[in-house]
């Protein structure tokens, strides 16, 4: 067994709310510098910058978990973690079909930059990624299953874009094993595991190594198992 520090919720410059300095190399280099062991770049409804993040991390000791932050039709935000980059990209492509075809207005919402492993912009996502998907929470749970996606309700202690804000509670019938909070001391009635992430949109907001997981080995499956995923 080993103890690792983590931050599983941060946004790259693909998310319109993510600062343009949140590039794959900047994120990876800063995470390594401050001593994080495990990170996940969880952009809104898309995994298009994950190949660059994985390439940037290849020469480091950092473990990257493939992830997205999905938004259900009820405007519930959920982290979705995957066992492999390939599954995340396939799910991202499928999810895109359920994104409203509303063009992003970069001057209002921010750019949605797709970068390569050298932090060079190779394109932009034309449709606004922060919109809610056309999938309800029930549908989203079923939708990610073929891609081995593991859903964690995000920032459940916040008054907006959370399962508690939309539904008033964390209904046990959904079977969530883990939730994310912005404050581990928040009085959230939930008997399962709680994790705390930065939800960083700027480099300076990335978490110091203050939150830890006990895992069997430093691998993606081991992290997912530690979070309660059935893998």
Name the pTM for this structure: 0.96
Task: Give the tokens for residue 195.
Answer: 């994790």
* Helix segments in the chain, DSSP class H: 24-34, 50-57, 85-96, 106-109, 137-144, 163-167, 220-226
pLDDT (tens digit, 9 = 90+) per residue, 71-127?
999 999 999 999 999 999 999 999 999 999 999 999 999 999 999 999 999 999 999
Cα separation, 137 vs 181, whole angstroms: 19
C-alpha torsion sign, points 38, 182, 34, 29? positive
Q: Give the total number of structural domains in the chain.
A: 1
pLDDT (tens digit, 9 = 90+) per residue, 133-179?
999 999 999 999 999 999 999 999 998 999 999 999 999 999 999 99
Confirm whether 231 is domain-assigned: no
Confirm whether 122 is domain-assigned: yes
Confirm whether 62 is domain-assigned: yes
Residue with tokens 């001593």: 35
pLDDT band at 185 (very low <50, low <70, confident <90, very high): confident
CATH number of domain containing 70 = 3.20.20.140
Strands 77-81 and 67-71, bridge-based pairing: antiparallel
Cα separation, 51 vs 84, whole angstroms: 11
Cα separation, 61 vs 46, whole angstroms: 25
Segment 26-50 mean pLDDT: 98
Indicate the angle between helix axes 50-57 and 24-34, nearest 10 degrees: 40
Confirm whether 92 is domain-assigned: yes
The residue range of the domain holding 30 is 2-226
């Amino acid at each position: 067994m080993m103890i690792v520090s983590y931050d599983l919720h941060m946004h790259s410059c693909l998310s319109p709310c993510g600062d343009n300095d949140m590039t794959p190399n900047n994120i990876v280099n800063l995470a390594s510098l401050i001593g994080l062991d495990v990170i996940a770049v969880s952009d809104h409804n898309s995994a298009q910058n994950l190949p660059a993040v994985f390439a940037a991390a290849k020469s480091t000791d950092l473990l990257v978990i493939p992830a997205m932050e999905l938004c259900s039709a009820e405007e519930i935000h959920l982290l979705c973690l995957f066992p492999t980059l390939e599954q995340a990209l396939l799910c991202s492509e499928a999810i895109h079909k359920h994104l409203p075809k509303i063009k992003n207005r970069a001057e209002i919402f921010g750019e949605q930059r797709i970068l390569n492993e050298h932090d060079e912009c190779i394109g932009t996502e034309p449709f606004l990624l922060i919109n809610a998907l056309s999938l309800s929470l029930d549908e989203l749970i079923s939708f990610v299953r073929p891609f081995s996606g593991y859903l964690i309700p995000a920032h459940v202690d916040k008054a907006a874009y959370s399962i508690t804000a939309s539904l008033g509670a964390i209904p046990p019938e959904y079977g969530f094993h883990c939730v994310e909070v912005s404050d581990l001391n928040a009085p959230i009635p939930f008997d399962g595991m709680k994790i705390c992430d930065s939800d960083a949109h700027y480099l300076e907001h990335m978490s110091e190594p203050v939150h830890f997981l006990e895992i069997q080995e430093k691998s993606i499956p081991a992290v997912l198992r530690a979070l309660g995923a059935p893998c």
